[in-house]
């Protein structure tokens, strides 16, 4: 592949509700531009962009893939993101390195929850937006109706720059609104056509609207427009481009990915209207200082497999050359870049260098991780890293065999390098390995990858809810440990009171012993005994938190007392006092935000109510959606992804985060205790 100069590059991220047709659209673009000879299909697992085995199997995109599409002396780097919310980490990487967002709207569905999310992500990343209305080959679709929905529910700045020729099964082409040039597509090949009168009529109406909208964004044109002068098409196109880049207009196009209609028109629009990296605000480093042409490339995605690592980067300053050395400030390491490749889905093509603005991958970097900057040691630049949401779903993983256990740690480390939204922790309580991420599907995909890439087999166990225990009153008790077994005896004796601390304060130990009732050197042993006892609560065996322990009296024996004896005495005293101090079980509470199409709001609310939810608010978001905010015990949220899916036919979305702990109600306490007992018996 040739080396493209900055001005000839377009980095466009495709985003939408899941399944709107992004991957199919990329496939059609590759076919129409001659890069591939056969049009693959998502259902058959034969597309360029969904190349990972799990994507082919599930028929959804899981990772963001980069696909260069060469069109009219330009290279469009298409970033095909997953629509599924579980893979939002991949989406974020793709958004971060794009210069414009192409939002797909499924004409059979209109504005979906994921469309609104896509819209707001593009806003968050300050990306100029275009909209492609897809699937116009399907029954019950109507471009003009979808356009109105977009204007009503997404943005009033949306303007049609194309209209369809034919509809549904007869959908065969598009007409450019400004010029009136009509094109039909036969197997992706564009041909000039003459539009029928009814299409012309609607186009003329939309042309008036478009011209007025363009002129309103440009001081000079608006004067001409108001004076009633005819404005040159070239001037209108220039102003449209500027308005798109500024975000004041959002052009709407139409087509069908699988019927391969309208792709050339879309590529033209991307080349003519979308900004090149040079048209975007000057890149700056993490502190806001201009990069100023010094070498700076951001690694936005890492793929590792047993053969090595592939680091996807975008160049923000200078140009990245193959067979060179770069500096990684985050790791304080020199990295040798042996090969630079341009990826097309899963296939790489070697290149000598990539210009500023371009996207490619470096092979087998030793230390570099996602979010790192590759730069030079002379002029080190650190670019702002990519931000990722906190995990919302956790489950424990259990190795199937001893061999799996040994391989698990290193394999998980590799997986988390690849996916920053995947976290691995160890639960000290249960000594289980806990995997957390963005949802159940996310974790299942991670397990499949463990198996496929690293031959490690693990099972996903029911997520373990981290309950806690605490006390609600104050009580005082004595712990006396005395044992006489042959020679040396054991003696420790301590009085302590236990009382509640405010939520979140953990543990406090105060020594109020006066007059040497217990020698100083035994006090740490008493504290250790208490800490030991805290690890296993009295009711359910979950750790105790938010307690204050004060020791105020005791006694000792000059020969028989020891650290061990006082540790045991401390532990005994704590258990006795805590038992008398009205222990309770605390359960974690999540803050949950659910986005639902209005028609499902009632069902989602009643489901939440059956989950002991405390509803905080309900607000409309956009036209057809409601956002529900609620606090729900984590215990009830175990399989919420699946529940919400079935209630809303896959159209609801949710996010959640940990809010804090609250006392579990009596009935739930009984269940938690029974579950803890069952687990103990099982062991």
Ligand X SMILES: Nc1nc2c(ncn2[C@@H]2O[C@H](COP(=O)(O)OP(=O)(O)OP(=O)(O)O)[C@@H](O)[C@H]2O)c(=O)[nH]1
Interface positions with ligand X (CB under 6 A): 16, 18-24, 41-43, 60-61, 82-84, 134-135, 137-138, 256-259
Q: How far apart are CA 41 and CA 424, in angstroms?
A: 35
For the bound state, the minimum distance from the C-beta of residue 257 to Mg ion, rounded and expressed in Å, comes to 10
Binders in 346-405 for Mg ion, by CB under 5 A:
none
Comparison of 11 and 23: residue with beta carbon closer to Mg ion: 23
Q: How far apart are CA 574 and CA 547, in angstroms?
A: 11
Tokens of 502: 């405010």
Q: Is 61 in the site for Mg ion (CB under 5 A)?
A: yes
Strand partners, 595: 627, 653
- Residue 137's binding partner among ligand X, Mg ion, none (Cβ under 5 to 8 angstroms by kind) is ligand X
| Phi, psi (rounded to 5 degrees) for 567 | -65, -45
Of 373, 359, 423, the C-alpha closest to 396 is 423
Q: Residues 23, 64, 276, 311: which binds Mg ion (CB under 5 A)?
A: 23
Comparison of 170 and 681: residue with beta carbon closer to ligand X: 170
Across the beta sheet with 65-71, what order do the strands follow?
Answer: 65-71, 74-80, 9-15, 100-106, 129-134, 250-254, 158-160
Strands 65-71 and 74-80: antiparallel
Task: Tell me the window of 23-31, 112-120, 521-529, 560-568 that interacts with Mg ion (CB under 5 A).
Answer: 23-31
Comparison of 155 and 256: residue with beta carbon closer to Mg ion: 256
Comparison of 22 and 595: residue with beta carbon closer to ligand X: 22
Q: How far apart are CA 419 and CA 599, in angstroms?
A: 35
Task: Tell me the window of 22-30, 127-135, 153-161, 433-441 that interacts with Mg ion (CB under 5 A).
Answer: 22-30
In this structure, are residues 165 and 195 in contact, taking their beta carbons and an 8 Å threshold? yes
For the bound state, the minimum distance from the C-beta of residue 82 to Mg ion, rounded and expressed in Å, comes to 6
- Residue 256's binding partner among Mg ion, ligand X, none (Cβ under 5 to 8 angstroms by kind) is ligand X
Strands 129-134 and 296-305: unpaired
Q: How many residues sit close enough to Mg ion to count as binding (CB under 5 A)?
A: 3
**What character string, x for contact with Mg ion (CB under 5 A) and - otherwise, covers 194-213?**
--------------------
In this structure, are residues 627 and 608 in contact, taking their beta carbons and an 8 Å threshold? no
Task: Tell me the window of 55-63, 206-214, 381-389, 568-576 that interacts with Mg ion (CB under 5 A).
Answer: 55-63
DSSP string, 228-253: T----HHHHHHHHHHHHHHTS-EEEE
For the bound state, the minimum distance from the C-beta of residue 14 to ligand X, rounded and expressed in Å, comes to 7
- Residue 84's binding partner among ligand X, Mg ion, none (Cβ under 5 to 8 angstroms by kind) is ligand X
Sign, Cα dihedral of 17, 20, 23, 28: negative
For the bound state, the minimum distance from the C-beta of residue 59 to ligand X, rounded and expressed in Å, comes to 7
Comparison of 23 and 184: residue with beta carbon closer to Mg ion: 23
Comparison of 280 and 651: residue with beta carbon closer to Mg ion: 651
Comparison of 24 and 490: residue with beta carbon closer to ligand X: 24
Of 133, 153, 132, the C-alpha closest to 142 is 133
B/e letters for 144-175, b = 16+ CB within 10 Å, e = fewer, are: eebbebbbebbbebbbbbbbbbbbbeebbbbb
- Residue 112's binding partner among ligand X, Mg ion, none (Cβ under 5 to 8 angstroms by kind) is none
Sign, Cα dihedral of 180, 9, 343, 124: negative
For the bound state, the minimum distance from the C-beta of residue 648 to ligand X, rounded and expressed in Å, comes to 17
Comparison of 42 and 213: residue with beta carbon closer to ligand X: 42
Place of tokens 């990722």: 388
Question: For residue 232, with 0-12 CB atoms within 10 Å meaning exposed, 13-18 middle and 19 or more buried, which class applies?
Answer: exposed
Q: Is 162 in the site for Mg ion (CB under 5 A)?
A: no
For residue 176, how many other CB atoms are within 10 A of its CB? 19
Comparison of 23 and 174: residue with beta carbon closer to ligand X: 23
For the bound state, the minimum distance from the C-beta of residue 23 to Mg ion, rounded and expressed in Å, comes to 3
DSSP string, 441-478: HHHHHHHHHHHHHH---EEEEPPPP--EEEESS-EEEE
For the bound state, the minimum distance from the C-beta of residue 253 to ligand X, rounded and expressed in Å, comes to 13
Comparison of 169 and 459: residue with beta carbon closer to ligand X: 169
- Residue 344's binding partner among Mg ion, ligand X, none (Cβ under 5 to 8 angstroms by kind) is none
For the bound state, the minimum distance from the C-beta of residue 338 to ligand X, rounded and expressed in Å, comes to 32
For the bound state, the minimum distance from the C-beta of residue 113 to ligand X, rounded and expressed in Å, comes to 13
In this structure, are residues 17 and 71 in contact, taking their beta carbons and an 8 Å threshold? no
Task: Tell me the window of 16-24, 135-143, 595-603, 653-661 that interacts with Mg ion (CB under 5 A).
Answer: 16-24
Biggest alpha carbon distance in the chain?
113
- Residue 18's binding partner among Mg ion, ligand X, none (Cβ under 5 to 8 angstroms by kind) is ligand X
For the bound state, the minimum distance from the C-beta of residue 448 to Mg ion, rounded and expressed in Å, comes to 18
Comparison of 49 and 497: residue with beta carbon closer to ligand X: 49
Strand partners, 219: none
Of 34, 225, 113, the C-alpha closest to 596 is 113
Strands 100-106 and 129-134: parallel
Task: Kindly state the helix (H) or strand (E) to which residue 436 belongs, with its residue range.
Answer: strand 432-437
For the bound state, the minimum distance from the C-beta of residue 61 to Mg ion, rounded and expressed in Å, comes to 3
For the bound state, the minimum distance from the C-beta of residue 413 to ligand X, rounded and expressed in Å, comes to 28
Q: Is 47 in the site for Mg ion (CB under 5 A)?
A: no
For the bound state, the minimum distance from the C-beta of residue 56 to Mg ion, rounded and expressed in Å, comes to 11
Comparison of 61 and 258: residue with beta carbon closer to Mg ion: 61
Q: Residues 10, 17, 22, 542: which binds Mg ion (CB under 5 A)?
A: 22
Task: Tell me the window of 58-66, 441-449, 560-568, 630-638 that interacts with Mg ion (CB under 5 A).
Answer: 58-66
Tokens of 356: 């500023």
Task: Tell me the window of 60-68, 135-143, 230-238, 413-421 that interacts with Mg ion (CB under 5 A).
Answer: 60-68
Place of tokens 């009503």: 152
Of 275, 277, 272, the C-alpha closest to 246 is 275
For the bound state, the minimum distance from the C-beta of residue 24 to Mg ion, rounded and expressed in Å, comes to 8
Comparison of 60 and 381: residue with beta carbon closer to ligand X: 60
Comparison of 16 and 396: residue with beta carbon closer to ligand X: 16
Q: What does R_g of the chain's alpha carbons equal in angstroms?
A: 31
Residues that bind Mg ion (CB under 5 A): 22-23, 61
């Amino acid at each position: 592949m040739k080396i493209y100069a900055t001005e000839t590059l377009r980095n466009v991220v495709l985003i939408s509700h899941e399944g709107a047709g992004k991957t199919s659209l990329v496939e059609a673009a590759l076919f129409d531009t001659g890069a591939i000879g056969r049009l693959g299909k998502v259902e058959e697992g034969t597309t360029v962009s969904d190349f990972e085995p799990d994507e082919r199997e599930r028929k959804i995109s899981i990772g963001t893939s980069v696909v260069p599409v060469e069109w009219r002396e330009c290279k469009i780097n298409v970033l095909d993101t997953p629509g599924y919310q579980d893979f939002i980490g991949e989406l974020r990487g793709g958004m971060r390195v794009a210069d414009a967002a192409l939002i797909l709207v499924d004409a059979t569905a209109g504005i979906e929850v994921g469309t609104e999310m896509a819209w707001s992500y593009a806003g968050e990343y300050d990306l100029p937006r275009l909209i492609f209305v897809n699937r116009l080959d399907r029954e019950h679709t109507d471009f003009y109706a979808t356009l109105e929905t977009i204007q009503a529910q997404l943005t009033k700045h949306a303007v049609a720059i194309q209209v369809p020729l034919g509809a549904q099964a007869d959908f065969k082409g598009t007409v450019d609104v400004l010029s009136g040039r009509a094109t039909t597509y036969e197997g992706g090949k564009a041909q000039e056509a003459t539009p029928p009168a009814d299409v012309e009529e609607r186009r003329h109406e939309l042309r008036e609207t478009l011209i007025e909208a363009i002129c309103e964004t440009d001081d000079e044109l608006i004067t001409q427009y108001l004076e009633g002068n005819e404005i040159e098409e070239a001037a209108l196109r220039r102003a449209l481009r500027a308005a798109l880049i500024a975000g004041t207009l959002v052009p709407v196009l139409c087509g069908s990915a699988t019927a391969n209609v309208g792709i050339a028109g879309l590529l033209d629009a991307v080349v003519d209207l979308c900004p090149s990296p040079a048209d975007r605000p000057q890149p700056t480093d993490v502190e806001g200082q201009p990069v100023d042409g010094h070498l700076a490339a951001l690694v936005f995605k890492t793929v590792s497999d047993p053969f090595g690592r592939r680091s996807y980067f975008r160049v923000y300053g200078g140009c990245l050359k193959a067979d060179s050395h770069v500096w990684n400030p985050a790791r304080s390491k020199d990295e040798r870049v042996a090969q630079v490749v341009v990826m097309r889905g899963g296939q790489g093509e070697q290149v000598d260098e990539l210009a500023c603005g371009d996207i490619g991958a470096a092979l087998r970097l030793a230390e570099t991780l996602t979010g790192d900057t590759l730069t030079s040691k002379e002029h080190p630049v650190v670019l702002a890293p990519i931000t990722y949401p906190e995990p919302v779903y956790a489950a424990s993983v259990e190795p199937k065999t001893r061999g799996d256990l040994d391989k698990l740690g290193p394999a998980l480390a590799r997986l988390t390098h690849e996916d920053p939204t995947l976290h691995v922790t160890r639960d000290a309580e249960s000594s289980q390995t806990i995997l957390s991420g963005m949802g159940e599907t996310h974790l299942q995909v991670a397990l499949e990858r463990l198996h496929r890439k690293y031959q490690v087999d693990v099972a996903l166990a029911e997520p373990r809810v981290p309950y806690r225990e605490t006390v609600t009153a104050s009580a005082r008790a004595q712990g006396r440990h005395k044992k006489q077994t042959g020679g040396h005896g054991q003696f420790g004796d301590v009085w302590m009171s236990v009382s509640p601390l405010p939520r979140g304060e953990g543990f406090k130990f105060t020594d109020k012993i006066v007059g040497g009732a217990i020698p100083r050197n035994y006090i740490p042993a008493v504290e250790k005994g208490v800490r030991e006892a805290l690890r296993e609560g009295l009711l359910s065996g979950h750790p105790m938190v938010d307690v204050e322990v004060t020791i105020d009296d005791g006694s000792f024996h000059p020969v028989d007392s020891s650290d061990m004896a006082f540790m045991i005495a401390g532990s005994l005293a704590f258990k006795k006092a805590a038992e008398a101090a009205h222990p309770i079980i605390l359960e974690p509470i999540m803050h949950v935000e659910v986005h639902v199409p209005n028609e499902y709001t009632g069902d989602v609310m009643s489901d939440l109510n059956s989950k002991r939810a405390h509803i905080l608010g309900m607000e409309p978001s956009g036209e057809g959606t409601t956002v529900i905010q609620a606090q729900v015990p984590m215990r009830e949220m175990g399989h919420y992804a699946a529940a919400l899916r079935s209630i809303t036919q896959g159209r609801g979305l949710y996010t959640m985060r940990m809010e804090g702990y609250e006392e579990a109600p009596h009935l739930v306490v009984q269940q938690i205790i029974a579950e803890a007992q069952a687990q103990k018996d099982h062991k």
